[in-house]
């Protein structure tokens, strides 16, 4: 059994923070209260972290929609006026499917007419805002696309579209779109932040740093946001200084970086393990990553220096930097260990890719449980590992970060996560697991997600799972 690799579970915190920051940068609303308690977690440290913001406080629910809704310009004497006003009223009454079907059915003359066209664009935009409030960006992105197609010079519409793409990790959020947005809305920090992220993903870290600086310049008088950006900047700078002297090898789906002295054998082995994981786990899971995944092999010293990991950590997936990091000590001699760690972290990377900016809403027990189950981690069954009287930690306690758990509780947490996820997959199948992931992507709280997907309450699920392994013990 390899030592638990616990630090990556602190990372969803940084991710939730990235989301909150991105969102607030974009909306220009005060974020100081929420940020104040979480800004210290950015640096990938292992200090105890504050729990993630409860679902009720997620950005979507506090969404001040009026900021992004466009006022309707007057429609001067159009013969479509009645029709357009009726649609506007349906949106305001939140009869969204009706409004959408009426918008879709508008006569071509209303859509192409130069006087009504901007008004129709505004209607699509405002429909998107309402859809996003109720159902998230998965739905709103379509409306914003329609709006932008009608009026691509409107900075608010383009900003809404870019933000929806960003949340959905849609490759349509490319350099061209962001450059256009920077031209149209030069004072906004969000396009620079998104550009920095894009460039970072494309391995252009020095250009990314320039845009991080531009974003910071555009966040006036907000010390928490500024310190957040400073922390991310420092992290990227540090990463660049460590990785600039590394060699990179690429396969079809991975970029593997390592200290120059590493031998051919190691990276060939690593790439083979990763490509196997890509195929096998992708098939089981029904998802393949949208972009190549970066894997950084550190010497033991540079691993701890670069990641701030404790000595016992075997590896981690860092969602802020979007890479799997692991020490190579032992990698050449212990292929079994290497396979376990790489596959485990690969599942975390895959879940992060699947959930995008919502990964923070995935309960840690399920994140870890899926990593263990899909990677085939060699953990014993809970019933084999536990003897005598055992106090089970309720799963609801294991939804947030595990960093503050004492070591014995952490061992139990992994065993429980493995067991509960095994039970979930065995009893409901991967299709329902997929349903759960969809719900978490929409930031549904765990209780609701389980009820709506498995048709049992969280309590019932918990009870049935405990019964299932107690039966095995007796």
Contacting range for Zn ion; rule: CB under 5 A; set: 143-151, 208-216, 371-379, 461-469 = 371-379
Read off the tokens for 374. 């899909």
Write down the least CB distance from residue 334 to Zn ion, Å.
Answer: 19
> Alpha helices of 39-95 — where are they, by DSSP H?
81-92
In the bound complex, what is the minimum distance in angstroms from residue 403's beta carbon to Zn ion? Answer: 12
Q: How far does the chain reach from its first CA to its final CA, in angstroms?
A: 25
Task: Choose between 358 and 367: whose C-beta lies nearer to Zn ion.
Answer: 367
Work out how close the CB of 214 gets to Zn ion at its nearest, in angstroms, rounded to a whole number. 35
With contacts defined by CB under 5 A, name the span among 84-92, 251-259, 361-369, 379-387 that binds Zn ion. 361-369
- 250 strand-pairing partners: 255
393 φ/ψ sector (left φ>0, alpha ψ -120 to 50, else beta): beta
- Number of residues interacting with Zn ion: please give it, by CB under 5 A: 2
Q: Residue 45 Cβ, how far from Zn ion at the closest point, in Å? A: 18
- 3-state DSSP helix/strand/coil percent for the chain, to nearest 5? 65, 5, 30
Strands (E), 274-433: 293-298, 316-318, 323-327
Which residue's structure tokens are 């310009």?
A: 73
Q: Does 208 bind Zn ion (CB under 5 A)?
A: no
Question: What long-range pairs does 382-390 form, CB within 8 A, spacing at least 24?
Answer: 382/415, 382/416, 382/418, 382/419, 382/469, 383/419, 383/469, 383/470, 383/472, 383/473, 385/415, 386/415, 386/473
The distance of closest approach from Cβ of residue 377 to Zn ion in the complex, given in angstroms and rounded to an integer, is 9
Sheet holding 316-318, edge to edge: 246-250, 254-259, 293-298, 323-327, 316-318
Rounded to the nearest whole angstrom, what is the least distance from the CB of residue 348 to Zn ion in the complex?
6
Residue with the CB atom nearest Zn ion in the bound state: 371
Q: Of 197-205, 305-313, 331-339, 362-370, which part binds Zn ion (CB under 5 A)?
A: 362-370
Do the Cβ atoms of 115 and 135 come closer than 8 Å?
Answer: no
With b meaning 16 or more CB within 10 Å and e meaning fewer, what string describes 136-146?
bbbbbbbbbbb
How many Cβ atoms sit within 10 Å of the Cβ of residue 1? 11
CB of 5 to Zn ion, least distance (A): 6
Between 199 and 395, name the residue whose CB sits nearer to Zn ion: 395
Residues in the chain: 474
Q: Which residue has the tokens 């918008």?
A: 103
Among the listed ranges 65-73, 204-212, 335-343, 370-378, the one in contact with Zn ion (CB under 5 A) is 370-378
Measured from the CB atom, the residue of 10 and 123 that comes closer to Zn ion is 10
Q: How far is the CB of 368 from Zn ion (least distance, A)?
A: 5
The window from 36-44, 216-224, 243-251, 367-375 that contacts Zn ion (CB under 5 A) reads 367-375
Q: Which is nearer to Zn ion, 178 or 371 (CB)?
A: 371
Q: Min. distance of Cβ 315 from Zn ion in angstroms?
A: 9
Candidates 15-23, 26-34, 231-239, 365-373 — which segment interacts with Zn ion by CB under 5 A? 365-373
Interface residue with Zn ion, options 209, 341, 371, 374 (CB under 5 A): 371
> How far is Cα of residue 232 from the mean position of the Cα atoms in its chain?
16
By beta-carbon proximity to Zn ion, the closer residue of 25 and 371 is 371
Smallest distance, Å, CB 339 to Zn ion? Answer: 15
- 167 or 377: CB nearest Zn ion: 377
Nearer to Zn ion, 368 or 399 (CB): 368
Q: Which is nearer to Zn ion, 379 or 423 (by Cβ)?
A: 379
b/e per residue, 39-54, with b = 16+ CB within 10 A?
Answer: bebbebebeebbebbe
Closer to Zn ion by Cβ: residue 197 or 368? 368
DSSP letter for each residue of 115-151: TTHHHHHHHHHHHHHHHHHHH-HHHHHHHHHHHHHH-
Separation between Cα atoms, residue 258 and residue 329, nearest integer Å: 12
Q: Which is nearer to Zn ion, 127 or 371 (CB)?
A: 371
Contacts with Zn ion in 166-195 (CB under 5 A)? none
Q: Which is nearer to Zn ion, 164 or 412 (CB)?
A: 412
Instruction: Compare residues 120 and 326 and give the one whose CB is closer to Zn ion.
Output: 326
CB of 350 to Zn ion, least distance (A): 12
Determine how β-strand 323-327 pairs with β-strand 316-318.
antiparallel
| Least spacing, CB of residue 385 vs Zn ion, in Å | 17
Rounded CA separation 100/88 (Å) = 11
3-state secondary structure of 326: strand
Q: Which residues bind Zn ion (CB under 5 A)?
A: 368, 371
């Amino acid at each position: 059994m390899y030592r638990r690799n616990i630090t990556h579970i602190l990372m969803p915190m940084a991710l939730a923070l990235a989301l909150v920051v991105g969102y607030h940068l974009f909306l220009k609303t005060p974020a100081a209260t929420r940020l104040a308690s979480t800004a210290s977690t950015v640096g990938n440290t292992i200090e105890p972290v504050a729990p993630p913001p409860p679902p009720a406080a997620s950005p979507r629910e506090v969404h001040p929609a009026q900021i992004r809704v466009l006022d309707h310009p007057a429609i001067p004497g159009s013969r479509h006026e009645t029709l357009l006003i009726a649609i506007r009223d349906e949106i305001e009454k939140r009869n969204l499917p009706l409004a959408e079907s009426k918008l879709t059915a508008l006569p071509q003359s209303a859509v192409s007419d130069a006087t009504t066209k901007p008004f129709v664009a505004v209607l699509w935009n405002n429909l998107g805002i309402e859809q996003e409030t109720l159902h998230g960006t998965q739905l709103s992105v379509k409306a914003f696309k329609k709006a932008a197609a009608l009026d691509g010079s409107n900075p608010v519409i383009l900003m809404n579209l870019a933000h929806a793409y960003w949340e959905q990790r849609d490759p349509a959020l490319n350099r061209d779109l962001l450059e256009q947005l920077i031209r149209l809305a030069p004072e906004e920090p969000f396009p620079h932040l998104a550009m920095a992220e894009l460039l970072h993903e494309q391995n252009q870290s020095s250009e990314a740093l320039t845009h991080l600086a531009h974003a910071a310049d555009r966040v006036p008088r907000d010390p928490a946001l500024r310190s957040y950006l400073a922390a991310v900047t420092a992290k990227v700078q540090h990463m660049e200084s460590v990785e600039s002297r590394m060699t990179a090898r690429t396969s079809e789906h991975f970029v593997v970086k390592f200290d120059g002295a590493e031998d051919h054998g190691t990276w060939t082995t690593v790439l083979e393990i990763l490509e196997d994981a890509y195929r096998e786990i992708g098939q089981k899971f029904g998802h393949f990553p949208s972009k190549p995944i970066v894997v950084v092999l550190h010497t033991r010293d540079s691993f701890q220096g670069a990641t701030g990991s404790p000595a016992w950590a075997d590896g981690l997936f860092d969602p802020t930097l979007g890479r799997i990091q692991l020490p190579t000590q032992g990698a050449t001699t212990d292929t079994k260990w290497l396979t376990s760690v790489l596959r485990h972290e690969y599942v975390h990377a895959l879940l992060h890719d699947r959930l995008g900016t919502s990964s923070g809403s995935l309960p840690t027990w399920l994140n870890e449980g899926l990593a263990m189950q899909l990677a085939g981690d060699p953990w014993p069954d809970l019933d084999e590992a536990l003897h005598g009287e055992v106090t089970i930690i309720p799963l609801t306690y294991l939804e947030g970060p595990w960093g503050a758990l004492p070591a014995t509780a952490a061992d139990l947490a992994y065993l429980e996560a493995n067991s509960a996820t095994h039970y979930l997959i065995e009893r409901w199948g991967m299709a329902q697991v997929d349903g759960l992931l969809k719900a978490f992507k929409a930031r549904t709280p765990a209780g609701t997600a389980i009820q709506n997907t498995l048709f049992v309450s969280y309590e019932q699920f918990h009870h049935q799972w405990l019964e299932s392994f107690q039966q095995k013990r007796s």
